[in-house]
Amino acid sequence: MSDKGRIIWKGIGMLLAYGAITAAVIYFLNGCTFDKWKAVTWAMFMAFGIWQSYRWFQRKVEELNDKED
């Protein structure tokens, strides 16, 4: 597998782990309920997680491109 492929899979894994952890935290901190407002809260955290994952991915790709040059 190429380095770029590893970076993509690692980014996907990080994003899935982040989503699962934030969903679990929101679920357990709110008395094991998950109504529409908790879903909105989780969606906001996921948007932040997607943005952070994208920034991480861009940084790693730039590092990879610099290494190849």
Return the pLDDT at 1: 63
SS3 1: coil
Average pLDDT over residues 21-43: 79
Mean pLDDT for all residues in the chain: 82
pLDDT(48) > 80: yes
Return the pLDDT at 62: 87
Return the pLDDT at 69: 63
Task: Report pLDDT digits (tens) over 49-65.
Answer: 888 888 888 888 888 88
28 C-beta neighbours (distance < 10 Å), count: 9
Q: Compute and round to an integer the Cα radius of gyration of the chain.
A: 16
